[in-house]
Structure 1
Amino acid sequence: MLTLVLLLLPTGAWAQKGAKNPAALVKEGERLFGARKYRESAEVLKKAYDAQPDARLLYNIARAYEQAGDLREALSYYDQFIKNSDSDMDPLLMKRAHSAAERARVLIEKEEQASATAEAERKRLQEEADTAKRKAEEEQAAARRAEELARQQQQAEQDRAMASYRRSRVAAFALGGVSVASVGAGIFFGLQASDARKTFDEASSLEAKETAADDTRGKALLADVGFGVGLAAAIGAIIIFPKEGPPVEGEVRMTLAPKGLGAGMEVSF
């Protein structure tokens, strides 16, 4: 087609303009087209058209752009060719231009549809990715909240277990103190009862013996009560005194119930 244009254009007028005249540019465009340098060919042919406009050059420029894969530029130049051609233009060339222009429009429309489909798919995938990201962030936030709640519960349980441990120690020490005091009182009243018995043995009158006997029984009873309370307090102190150190994480131990009677399982996590 480039060769055809060269034959149809007034080459005599072009030849007078030297190496860079339109004829030379067309030759260069033909060479580049044959070397499959279609875009470079189109640029050279556009220079030739600017130097001496001819509608047939527009067709060649459109063909070069079409071969280069630039359908929009090709369609633009096909339309220019059809618009700028007069009634003397080769009918076969016009038919080819119309066919090529229609083909370019169809291909461009398909490209646009494919591009729109691809863009819609990209947006869909992006939305899915954003949704998945938000869901993951929400799950992570929920996991952090659950972890913080578990940590708080763990700390509260640890504090409760420590408080229970300390109460048990205080109660055991208190009972121990009661036991020591009660045993001391029992020893004291026991000694008093022993002295009263000696007084009873040494008494010579009935009235003195009865008085000494009452005193002996009363002090002996007090001594018994002291020893009994001391023994009970000692047993209680032994029972409730923690047998191990302060509770640690993951430890399970038997303890007395904080209120009332009985025992329970104390667990710290």
Structure 2
Amino acid sequence: MNIFQLFSDIESVDADAPEKLSFYSRRFFLRKGSKAATAVALPMALASISQEAFAQSTEVQEVLNFALKLEYLEEDFYKKALAEATFDFGADRPVFEQIHKHEASHVKLLQTALGAAAAPKPALKYDAFPDVFTNYQTFLIVAQAFEDTGVRAYKGQAPKLYKLPELTTALQIHAVEARHAAEVRRLREGRVWVTKNESDGAPAAVYAGEENTVQKVDVRTLGPGFSDIVVTEAFDEPLTKEAVLEIVKPFGVA
């Protein structure tokens, strides 16, 4: 066995492996106080770290595939609308052409990162909103729902990528999804932020929990002027994976 290659392989999925290995071996050596004990500690430490790294790698794949499924939905939605919608986008068409390019880039990046582990594109459907490609206002409502859901979904998964390079990529996509959401809201001539849990015509589940006013402390208690409206607009809440899947399940994403 090439021990140095093993260290390299482990570190590729667990950047903290050298520090953990040092801790494990020192602790075992100090407890037993012999070179022989250290020799025993080394494989034990490697086994422990390898198990942690494998679990971490599997979880990262799950998070990235979850994100990929959402990106499949958004990319397909805009592509289909631009190609098949019977309404007139008017001056807004270039906006959605650009958003579609962004979503296609997100799909390609995630597919590349996952390689053979990338989830296949699901069979998507939009019959939950029968007039989504014939009525521009319905299209905007669904676009807003998808973008706002995406923003909260990335936020909900971010802790699972803590201290991993994939977190940077996820946050880069998250920031662009937030800009998409703001632009779609602007096109609807509404507020570009979320007030309480007002859905503005989108499915209510997209905004469940957005009325929260507690960010470690109840922000309303910090002084005058911090009303429910101000607080909920100032902080955006995450969504769990389960909540997101309930929202997108009618569109064929599971």
Q: Aligning the two structures, in what range does the TM-score lie when normalised by the shorter sequence?
A: under 0.3
Structure whose alpha-carbon radius of gyration is higher? 1
TM-score with structure 2 setting the length: 0.28
TM-score with structure 1 setting the length: 0.26
Higher relative contact order (CA 8 A, sep 6+): 2
